[in-house]
Structure 1
Amino acid sequence: MPITTKAKSPGELEDWPAIREAIRRYVRTRTGRADMADDIAQDVLLRLIALRETQAIGSIFALAFRIADNLMVDTNRREIRQSGDLDEDWPCDAPSLDRVLDSRRAVEVLSSCLRRMPPLRREVIIRRRLRQESCRAIGNDLSMSSKAVEKHITRGLVDLRQAFERAGIEPVGE
């Protein structure tokens, strides 16, 4: 015996078993899962009946398919969240926590070493290595020969290498 309920307009009856079967076929075709089809079809009928009590529905089948689509999306999202499986094919552009911590430690060692350097050597290293200024430009600004600038750079780099070695940090991008 078909389950029917009165529609808003007098004498109109809904064929709930036909709607349920149409939704089951639709979900089964879209997902390939009979268990999901049964659950979603049941939820769709419950929601349609509740809506029918309070609102006039223009096309019951159109609304049923829309509700089914939304329920399929919700079900998939819930299953993904609950599965706990991470897709390892998703690359992450952010550095790992270990790399961030190692980089912070390297910056601390670099800063500490620069603070301990004589002021002239520190300025030469910063201008050459960080600001990419030429030895000639640094020498002209500081009234030094290019050879003297190169010696300050060499001594500064030796100081930095020793500081990194003492801290157990491998220098990168020499």
Structure 2
Amino acid sequence: MRANLESLPSGGPASEQEDWGHVQTGLIRYLRARAVRADVAEDIAQETLIRLISVSRKQAIASVFALGFRIADNLLVDLYRAERRLTDAPGDDMRSEAPSLDRVLDSRRAYAVFQQCLDRMPPLRREVIVRRRMRQESCRAIGEALSLSIKAVEKHITRGLLDLRRAMEKAGIEPAGWDE
């Protein structure tokens, strides 16, 4: 939409001398040459004219076209930035490596079930499970520390893991990775 240039109030010396219609046509051509859509080019040209007229009332402009092209470029950059903010998928920049709230709550629940199951185990079985699964000690090292045979350590591990599996299944929690 072309600005109604006749209705613009004249004021300073530049506004009387400039042919604003000619400037607006030049701005639209400049913007269209930069692959700007026609409607956007007209809007930016109109906004540029308003700013040029405002500046011309306060001070003399050496080159109306040079200033107009600069203003139009800045308005175009502002428009592209605003459109990019609107079209970017929300949250793309705000993704977190932290687990989701659901996963945190599920993990806390699994931990509580795990801890209750450990507390109910006989002390020797609990000690073997903790040493093997938590501290990553070998069966041989556990056997030597607790004066047990390797077979006895393996049986405690097997029974302890079965207890943990049953407790997790009873609570509705998938005990993934417990058998490894």
Counterpart of 1:147 (choices 151, 154, 157) is: 151
Deviation string for 1:149-172 (max 9, x for gaps)? 111111111110110121011211
CA contact (8 A) 1:124 1:152 kept: yes
Structure 2 length-normalised TM: 0.66
Structure 1 length-normalised TM: 0.68
Q: Which amino acid aligns with 1:166?
A: K
Q: Which amino acid aligns with 2:28?
A: E
Q: How much does 1:138 deviate? A: 1.3
Count of aligned pairs: 162
Matched with 1:171 is: 175
Q: Unaligned 5+ residue runs, structure 2?
A: none
Q: Aligned residues: percent identity?
A: 52
Q: Does 1:105 align with 2:130?
A: no
Higher normalized contact order (CA 8 Å, seq sep 6+, divided by chain length):
2
Q: How does 1:21-170 map to 2 (within 5 A)?
A: 21-22=28-29, 24-26=31-33, 29-30=35-36, 33-50=37-54, 59-60=66-67, 61-77=69-85, 79-80=86-87, 95-170=99-174
CA distance in 1, matches of 2:19, 2:124: 90
Q: How much does 1:145 deviate? A: 1.7
Q: Unaligned 5+ residue runs, structure 1?
A: none
Q: How much does 1:64 deviate? A: 2.4
Name the CA shift for 1:67/1:101 in 2 (closer, same or farther; >3 Å): same
C-alpha RMSD over aligned residues:
3.7
